[in-house]
Structure formats: C-alpha cells, structure tokens
Structure 1
Amino acid sequence: MELFAVPDLPEIRPGHDLAALIRERVDLRPDDVVCVASTVVSKAEGRAADRSEFPAGPRAREIVSNRAAETDEGPPPWFVQAVLEESVEVLVENPFLLTETRFGHIGVNAGIDRSNVPSADLLLLPKHPSESAARIREGLPADRVVVTDTCGRPFRHGQRGVAIGWAGLAPGRDWRGETDRDGRELGITVESVADELAAAANLLAGEGDDGTPVVVVRDFEWGDHGESDAHFREVETDVVRRAIRAWSNRG
C-alpha cells in the first residue's frame, strides 16, 4: 500500500470544485482511496462562520458561567452557542464540551475548528460528510472517498485521523465468521477500515500549516472479507455513552 499527498492545492474558497482541483494535480486510478480533510470540504461548502452569527442564548451563558466557577479559562459564549447549534446532544459540559453532531459523530466542540480559517472566526464540520464524499467521488476517476477529521481518544493522549464520511466503500471490514490461526471462529471483530485509512492519511496531511489536505491511498486491498455499514455506535449498544449520561445526571 502506498500513500501520497496531492500537491499544490490552493487555499480553498466557497464554491471550489474539490474533485476538479484534485484531478488537475494527480492521475488517479479507479481503485484509489482519496482521503479529504474535512477542513477543505467545509471551506468549499461555505461552512466558515463569524461569531456574530451565534449570539449566546441562556444555555450557552450558563455553561460559560459554570466553567468560570472552576477555571479562568474557557471558550467565549458565542463559541459555546455555535457548538450547541451544531449538536443534537451534549454529553459533557465541563471541563470541555463533548457532543454528538447531527450526523452521529461524537467529539469535542462538535468538531468546530478555530484554526486555518483566514477570513472567519470558525469553521463548522460539513453538514452531511458522507453526502460530501459522494459528491467528490462523482467528479473523480477513483471509486472510493473518505472525509477525515482529527479527534482525541479516551484513555490516550493525542489526536488521530478518523473518518466522518465515506463513499464507495463500507466503513467496516467484517471478520465475523472467519477463523483465527487456531481455527477459532471470530465472533465480534469488525475492523474500522475507514478510520484506519483516515489515520494513515493524517500522517501525511499533518495538523498545522502543511497545506496537504488530500491524500491518496493506492493499492489498498479489501480482501475476501465481509462488509459492515456500522460506524457510529447506536445509543442502545454504546455502554460508554450510557455511563457518561448516568455520571452527568448524578452531577
């Protein structure tokens, strides 16, 4: 498997055709996987915003007030309001905002970015990242597209790349029913291939001013395995989310 970044992409503006910009800079193959950072997808889709668009409501002011009672640091009320408007559930309010976005991703601050936004105060995630991936895929000779973001992980330091949208591939490779080297049948293993591809791409895309938000994965082979459409865990089977809810309610 080989990965390489698409070179010389311009600063992305609203209305830019990402697929055309990618096509102009690299010769793609049908079985390539094109990993596109959500930052440029959001910029192309006009998801940059100014603080004036998010006047703080009562709940945002309450969250800021509660945070101020414990620490001198914290986001401004308008930013908290933006997070609330981009979320369907707030799991944790303090010491940070952990929320579920409208498309099912759980992360800090609803994935809203305040860096690499030269002409606005913040950048919201794409509204429907898998639909964004499908639109990009329509303009490419490559059959598979993953929209990536970075987020932290419980129990570990640091951030890694994750998939928040995809088209042309299933997010999970299903090993259930296959056997290990000793002949034991696998009963629960579903490999999050979309996340693994996103994490690999992030090694090249970087986190700062690298300017390489699109990475091509070449010669990735799915193999003779089943597919799983599951990616964001449902509340009914998410023991971590249920535990967080119980802990928050006790507070």
Structure 2
Amino acid sequence: MELFAVPDVPEVGPGDDVAAIVRERADLREDDIVCVASTVVSKAEGRQADLSAFPAGPRAREIAATLEAATGEEKDPRFAQAVLEESVELLTESPFLLTETRFGHVGVNAGIDRSNVPGHDLLLLPKRPSESAERIRDGVAADRVVVTDTCGRPFRHGQRGVAIGWAGMCASRDWRGEADREGRELGVTVENVVDELAAAANLLAGEGAGGTPVVVVRDFEWGDHGGSDEHFRDAETDFVRQALRGWEYDG
C-alpha cells in the first residue's frame, strides 16, 4: 500500500467542484481510495459562518459562563450557540463541550473549526458527510472516498485523523469467525478500516498552514473478509457515553 498527497489543491470556496479539483491534479486508478479533509468539503458546501449568525440564547449564555468559570478564559456565548445548533446531544459542558453531531460523530465543539476560514469566523462540518463522499465519488475515477477530520480520543493525548463519511466501501472489516494463528476462533475483532485509512492519510495531509487536504491511498487490499457500515457506536452500547451523562466536572 502507498499513499501520496494530491499537489496544488487551491483554496476552495462555496460551489467549487471538489471532484473536478482532484481529478485535474491526480492520475487516479479505479481501485484507489481518495481521502478528502472535511475542511475542503465544508468550504465547497458553503458551511462557512460568522458568529453573528448565532445570537446566543439563555442556554448558550449559561454554558459560556460555566466554561469561563472552569477555564478562567473568556468564552463567547455565540460560539456555544453554534455548537448547540450543530448537535443533537451535549455530553459534557465543562471543562469543554463534547457533543454528538447530527450525523452521529462525537467530538469537541461539534467539530466546528475556527482556523483557516478566510473571511469568516467558523467552519462547520458537512451536514451529511457520507452523502458528500458519494458526490465526490461520482465525479472522480476512484471507486472509494473517505471524508476525514481530526479528533481527540479518550485515554490518548493529541488528535488523529478519523473518518466522518465514506462511500464505495464498508466502514468496518469483520474478522469474527476467522481463526488466529493457533486456530482459535476470533469472537470480537471488528477493524474500523475507514478510521485507519483516515489516520494514515492525516500523516501526509498535515495540520496548520502547510496542510495538503487530499490524499490518495493506492493498493489497499480488503481481503476475504466480511464488512459492515457500523462506525459510530450507538448510545445503547456506548458505556462511556452513558457514564458521561451522569458525570459532572468538579474543577
């Protein structure tokens, strides 16, 4: 397997054709996997926003005040309002906002970005990233597309690339029922392939001012395994989420 960054991707704006941009700059093969940073997808879909578009309600002002007390830093209640409007559940409100987005992703601040947004205050995640991936897939020569983002993880320091949308492939590779080297049957092993591909792509995509937002994965082989689109853990089996619902920060 090899990965390479697509060169010279321009600043993307509302209405730009991401698939055409990739197609013009990369000689793709049918079995390639195109990993596209969510920032590019969001910009093309017009998900830029200003804080003035989110007048703060009572709940947002309460959350901002709680965060200020916990962190000692001034917080804009309009940002809290934006997070609330992009979320279906607020899991923690102090010392940071951990939320579930409308498409099932759990992350800090509903994944709202405040960097690299020329002319605007905020960049929201795509509304339906898997549908975005499908549209890009329709316009490039490759059969598989993954929309990526960076996200922190419980029990780990720092951020890593994760998949928030995908098309043309299963999200998870299922090893259950197969045998290990000793002949014992695997009973629980399900490999989240789209997250692993997103993390690998993020090593080349980079962060900050020098990022390259499109990475191609070549010669990845799925193998003779089953698969599914199980990716975001549902609330009924997410015991960490259940614990957080009854947890309060005591700073």
- The answer to whether the Cα contact below 8 Å between 1:175 and 1:225 also exists between their aligned partners in 2 is yes
**Which residue number in structure 1 is paired with residue 235 of structure 2?**
235
What's 1:223 paired with? Answer: 223
- Secondary structure, aligned partner of 2:71: coil
1:166-205 alpha-carbon deviations (Å, 9 max, x no partner): 0000110000000100111011110000000000000000
Q: Which amino acid aligns with 1:87?
A: S
TM-score after normalising by structure 1: 0.97
Whole-angstrom CA distance in 2 between matches of 1:75 and 1:207? 24
SS in 2 for 1:146: strand
Verify: 1:46 aligned to 2:58, yes or no. Answer: no
Contact 1:107 1:151 in 2 (8 A): yes
Q: Aligned-pair distance for 1:119?
A: 1.2
Distance 1:70 1:211 in 2: 33
1:23-79 Cα distance to aligned partner (Å, 9 max, x none): 101110010000000000000000000111000010000011122233321531111
Q: Distance in 1 between matches of 2:39 and 2:211?
A: 11
1:5 aligned residue:
5
2 CA distance for matches of 1:75 and 1:218?
44
The residue matched to 2:247 in structure 1 has which SS?
Answer: helix
Q: In the alignment, what sits opposite 1:111?
A: 111
Per the alignment, in what secondary structure is the counterpart of residue 126 of structure 2? coil
Q: Which runs of 4+ in 1 moved over 4 A?
A: none
Asked whether the 8 Å contact 2:65–2:75 carries over to 1, the reply is no
Residues 9 and 211 of structure 1 are in contact (CA less than 8 Å); yes or no, is this contact kept in structure 2? no
Residue pair 1:175, 1:226 contacting (<8 A) in 2 also: yes
- 1:229 deviates by 1.4
The CA distance in 2 between the partners of 1:67 and 1:178, in whole Å, is 48
Gaps of at least 5 residues in structure 2 are none
Q: Give the aligned partner of residue 98 of structure 2.
A: 98
For residues 70-149 of structure 1, the aligned pairs below 5 Å read 70-149=70-149
The alignment covers a number of residue pairs equal to 250
Instruction: Spell out, residue by residue over 1:99-157, the C-alpha distance to the aligned partner (whole angstroms, 9 max, x if none).
Output: 00000000000000000101100000000000000000000110000000000011110
Secondary structure at 1:89's aligned position in 2? strand
Please report how far the alpha carbon of residue 248 of structure 1 lies from its aligned counterpart in structure 2 after TM superposition.
4.1
User: In 2, are the aligned partners of 1:151 and 1:160 still within 8 Å (CA)?
Assistant: yes
Q: 1:229 to 1:74 in 2, by over 3 A?
A: farther
Unmatched tracts of structure 1, length 5 or more = none
CA distance in structure 1 between the partners assigned to 2:249 and 2:93 by the alignment: 12
- Residue identity matched to 1:228: S
Root mean square deviation of aligned Cα: 1.3
